[in-house]
Amino acid sequence: MKKPGIEYLHNPRLNKGTAFTPEERLELGLTGLLPPRVSTMQQQVERSLANMRAKPTNISKYMFLAALQKRNERLFFRMLIDHITELMPIVYTPTVGQACQEYSSIYRETSGYYLSLRDKGRVEELLSHWPDQDVRLIVATDGERILGLGDLGTNGMGIPIGKLALYCACAGIDPSQCMPIMIDVGTENEGLREDPLYLGLRQNRIRGEEYLEFIDEFIQAVKKRFPNALLQFEDFATPNAVSLLEKYRDELLCFNDDIQGTASVALAGLYAATRINNKKLSEMTYLFSGAGSAATGIGDLLSKAMQREGLSEQEANAKLFFIDSQGLVTQDRDYIAEHKKPFAADLPPMSFEEAVNQLKPDALIGATGTAGVFTQDIIETMGQNHESPIIFALSNPTANAECTAEQAYQWTNGRAIFASGSPFNVVHINNEIKIPGQGNNAYIFPGLGLGVLNSGATRVNDEMLISAAEALATSVSQTQIDHGCLYPPLKEIRKVSAKIAVAVAKTADECGLIQTQLPQDFDQVIQEKMYDPKY
């Protein structure tokens, strides 16, 4: 039986809105259901942009785009791809942080898949409710550590949805193969539990064995139901993020963007920084403000990159120092978390300020989630110790950045090599234009996923992450470097993602992680496979 015409307008994957031709309208039973004038996709993009730009706040723009995605998927992605520089801060950081905080109150219609404790024992069966069964890419969170905002429970669904939108826009992953998943195991956020509009379980988080058993049921269900999928762990609290990655990284195709993606994009920034200060990675000392999974993830990958330059593991780790809430992470502590142990310094305890003064690090890397911890005194000391101090304020969203771009440049008289996790505006100083580089994970994870899925890689390893970082660093033009920018323009991100995909696939092949030989024209294969929304 022929579908009623209205169904085409209610299906976001089939809907073309006013772009349905007269012939299509007649054939599909749409005549009379649309205004008579036929629009081009470009006209629809212009109309949608004008409507979005007229919204008074970023969160209202976010809601407009979310509604557009649910109404006309191809138009949404066409608009996002063609205007990525303008729209990425709306679709993802920093606006997605506010969207998650307000998720229950701004909820309109279902997006993503919600898995809760009530589903224990039936997870594999219930995954069949997802309408697309050829799932190749899953982003899953349990909502405990959303950006720098803490435990947002089910409200954290905004993160997997946003990440997958970037996979599609930035690397051409087919939306029909993407699945955002929220794993609801409760929340410690009392305000949410008491909020009458909150949509998640109103209970404290489960911990320990009960939590691990539920996650394992989920993992085993994914392996059976979606055996070809890459599973990305997203915004899990540090202890769980580290332990889950270590437990499952050799069991299935999986990846933790907070640990591995952040590490790769930060490493890319450091590679690019060496083009400014003319030092090798292995010739520098690094001080991390923060010692969570993101910070030590950068440290792990940076250590391996320095080992590529000839250092031993012990020598490389000795160049990496970490500050946590107790000060410098040192060996004389009574208790040191496992992920910090490789970097515990054989030094007396000292504060952050004392460490900057005594260690004289070449690079200061912030992953604290705390605004303003890079004070004027600290940055001025960095500038006194080095001609071109590296200052990375990587915490998201923008309000949580350790310092602003303007502060980093002003307090070093324009000599800082700066990068941040969220965007900052251009800075004018000493008659120069400084372009702050945004170390956005979107430079890495989409290209990584594109390479992994199209090469048939069975695992993601550190060598692939280093190759991704190298490919990203070499994508920065000399003109960008001359203005102090360590990352390419966002408008080039699809080209960069394709380059990263090829590098990742070739490295996976060299590591024996691909079962069939890559074709000689794999770079062309990647271009042809990339989703490009058109009518």
Query: Known catalytic residues?
Result: 92, 163
Entry field: residues in the chain: 535
419 by DSSP, 3-state: which? Answer: strand
Question: Residue 423 and residue 40: Cα distance in Å, rounded?
Answer: 33
159 CB-near residues (< 8 Å, 6+ apart): 96, 100, 139, 141, 146, 147, 234, 235
Going by C-alpha positions, the residue among 463, 94, 469, 450 that lies closest to residue 261 is 469
Determine how many CB atoms are found less than 10 A away from the CB of residue 328: 23
Rounded CA separation 370/368 (Å): 5
Q: Are 68 and 76 in contact (CB under 8 A)?
A: yes
Going by their DSSP bridges, the two strands 390-393 and 417-420 should be labelled as parallel
Q: In which element (H, E) is residue 252 found?
A: none
Question: Which structure tokens are listed for 10?
Answer: 């209610």
* CA 535/CA 273 separation, integer angstroms: 42
Helix, strand, coil shares, percent, the chain, to 5? 50, 10, 40
Distance between CA atoms of 202 and 205, rounded to whole angstroms?
9
Residues in Cβ contact with 401 at an 8 Å cutoff, skipping those fewer than 6 apart: 366, 371, 393, 395, 420, 421, 422, 424
Classify residue 42 by burial, with Cβ atoms within 10 Å: 0-12, 13-18, 19+.
exposed
Give the number of other CB atoms < 10 A from CB of residue 356. Answer: 24
Looking at the DSSP bridge assignments, the partners of residue 233 are 140, 256
Residue 224, burial from CB neighbour count under 10 angstroms (0-12, 13-18, 19+): exposed
